[in-house]
Amino acid sequence: MRIHIATDHAGMEFSTRLQHHLAGAGHEVVDHGPLEYDPLDDYPSFCIRAAQAVVRDQADGVDALGVVFGGSGNGEQIAANKVRGIRAALVWNLATAELAREHNDANVIAIGARQHTFDEAVSFIDRFIATPFTGEERHARRISQLAAYETDGSLEPDPRAAAADVLDASETFDPEAG
């Protein structure tokens, strides 16, 4: 499998070790940066490029996923999720790594390199890579809803709108009454 990775200065040491681990496991690793340590570098361009490469590879039929990381993983996840077609999940344990794939068909994960030991983070990444999407109808339906919103802004009808039609003013929520 091709694994696209990106970080910022907070994950440089982690990135080098991770690349060796993934290559040793038989994966093709593509590093989207940075190339050298710079304490003032900015993660968005690195993470967005990694996410774009995942989308491009998947569109071309290449089995590919992405891993983005920084100090917390939060900004990196946000950056990756700006790319159409990316479903990036912040992962902090084995269960979130597995569920990201099983339920959300996540194609990128974000990890806080300063939040975990190297061995913990690698176990999350390995679990993510090894876990398939279940394809269950409810999960596929939800992913389709996300893709529709991303494509044209469409949302499922708001069930509260129909309820509002039958409520009168005396039935509205009163915060004082609880």
Please state, in angstroms and rounded to a whole number, the distance separating the CA atoms of residues 92 and 71: 13
User: What's the pLDDT at 53?
Assistant: 98
Helices (H) and strands (E) in the chain, counts: 7, 5
Please state, in angstroms and rounded to a whole number, the distance separating the CA atoms of residues 130 and 153: 32
pLDDT band at 169 (very low <50, low <70, confident <90, very high): low
What phi-psi label fits residue 85: left (phi over 0), alpha (psi between -120 and 50 degrees) or beta?
left
Confidence check: pLDDT of 165 > 70: no
Confidence check: pLDDT of 114 > 80: yes
The angle at the Cα of 39, spanning 71 to 49, to the nearest 5 degrees, equals 65
- Between 168 and 4, whose confidence is greater? 4
Mean pLDDT along residues 117-137: 97
Amino acid at 174: D
Number of Cβ within 10 Å of residue 84's Cβ equals 11
**Which amino acids are annotated catalytic?**
76, 103
Supply the DSSP symbol for 161: H
Supply the DSSP symbol for 60: T
User: What's the pLDDT at 56?
Assistant: 98
pLDDT band at 104 (very low <50, low <70, confident <90, very high): very high
CB 109 within 8 A of CB 122: no
pLDDT band at 11 (very low <50, low <70, confident <90, very high): confident
CB 138 within 8 A of CB 102: no
Mean pLDDT along residues 6-33: 94
Confidence check: pLDDT of 167 > 70: no
**Could you tell me the two tokens for 81?**
């999720």
Q: In 3-state terms, what secondary structure has residue 95? A: helix
Confidence check: pLDDT of 63 > 70: yes
Confidence check: pLDDT of 47 > 70: yes
What is the average pLDDT score of the chain?
92
Mean pLDDT along residues 114-129: 97
List, in sequence order, every residue forming a beta bridge with 6; answer none if it has no partner.
Answer: 68
User: What's the pLDDT at 118?
Assistant: 95
